[in-house]
Amino acid sequence: MPFDENQWKNQLFQIFDSAFDAKKAHLEMSPYRKLWDSMHSKSALKCAVGIHVFFNEEPQIVLIERPSGMRKHAGQIAFPGGKMDESDLHLVHTAIRESEEELGIDTQSTQHAGSLSPVFIPVTNYVVYPFVFIHEKKPSFEANELEVSSILFLPFSQLVNPSFPTSKDISLENGEVLSDVPCFEFENKTIWGATSLMLNEMRERIKIFLLPTV
C-alpha cells in the first residue's frame, strides 16, 4: 500500500472527509438492497458505529466479534456501536461512547476523520451512521465481555485485495439459510450484512484514492 508513515493521517482525512456515492458499493454486498430503499422511514432508530483505524506498518481497521449468546447479531463481525442515547450530544458522540464502553478505547486519543454513508437495516428498523476515527498508534483495548468476544485487525492491503470479496451460504439463528450471500472472509470469520456494506464502501474509497488503476 502506498502509505507514507508520516503522511498517513492526512491521506485518511482526504479519503473519508469527502463526498462519495455509496449505492454501488452497498449493492455489491447486498444485491436486494434496492428493494429496501422504500422502507426507510423517519421512524427508524438512529445508531452509530465507530470505525477505528491505526497505523502499524500500514493502516489497520478494528473489528469486533459479537458473543454467541447475544440476543441480536450473535457471533457476527461488527464495529463497536449502538443506539443513540438521549444524553448523547450527537451521533459522533454516540460512536465514541459506544467504542469506549465496548472496547475501552481512550477517547482522548481519538480523532474524527470523516464518515461513511448511513446504512438502513430493515430487520430492526435502524439507520446506522458510521464514523471513521484515527489513532496515532494502536489503541489499548479492554473488551467488554458482554458485547465483545474477540477483536480483529484488518489491514488495508487485505481490504483492497481483489480476491477478498467472496460469497457463501449464511445460516441464520432461526434455521433459515441465505444462499450465495456476498461477504468477506477474514481469519476464518465471515463478515456480512451491514458491516460488509460499510467495509465495501471503505474499500472503494481507498481504491479510488490510492489505487486509481484498480
- List, in order of start, the domains of the chain with CATH numbers: 8-160+192-209 (3.90.79.10)
pLDDT over threshold 50, residue 204: yes
Please state the length of the chain: 214
pLDDT for 213 equals 44
In this predicted structure, what is the pLDDT of residue 4? 76
Cα distance between residue 64 and residue 51, in whole Å: 10
Average pLDDT over every residue of 100-112: 90
| Alpha carbon 166 to chain centroid, angstroms | 17
Residue 100 CB: number of other CB atoms within 10 A? 17
Q: Is the confidence at residue 113, as pLDDT, over 90? A: yes
Q: Which of 8-17, 152-161, 185-194 has the lowest mean pLDDT?
A: 8-17
In the chain, pLDDT over 70 holds for what percent of residues?
Answer: 89
The mean pLDDT value for 73-90 works out to: 89
pTM: 0.91
- Model confidence pLDDT, tens digit, residues 31-54: 876 655 555 556 789 999 999 999
pLDDT at 88: 87
Q: Of 27-31, 104-108, 148-152, which has the strongest mean pLDDT?
A: 148-152
Mean pLDDT confidence for 8-16: 87
pLDDT for 111 beyond 60? yes
Place of cell 451521533: 91
* End-to-end Cα spacing for the chain: 13
Grid cell, residue 117, equals 454513508
Contact in structure between 109 and 139 (CB atoms under 8 Å) = yes
Return the pLDDT at 37: 57
pLDDT of 176 reads: 83
Average confidence (pLDDT) over 79-107: 93
Select the more confidently predicted residue: 51 or 88.
51
Interval 110-122 mean pLDDT: 91
Across the range 174-182, mean pLDDT stands at 86
**Least confident range of 39-53, 120-134, 186-200:** 39-53
| Three-state secondary structure string covering the chain | CCCCCCCHHHHHHHHHCCCCCCHHHHHHHCCCHHHCHHHCCCCCEEEEEEEEEEECCCEEEEEEECCCCCCCCCCCEECCEEECCCCCCCHHHHHHHHHHHHHCCCHHHCEEEEECCCEEECCCCEEEEEEEEEECCCCCCCCCCCCCCEEEEEEHHHHCCCCCEEEEEEECCCCCEEEEEEEEEECCEEECCHHHHHHHHHHHHHHHHHCCCC
Average pLDDT over residues 189-198: 95
Q: Report the pLDDT averaged over residues 79-100.
A: 94
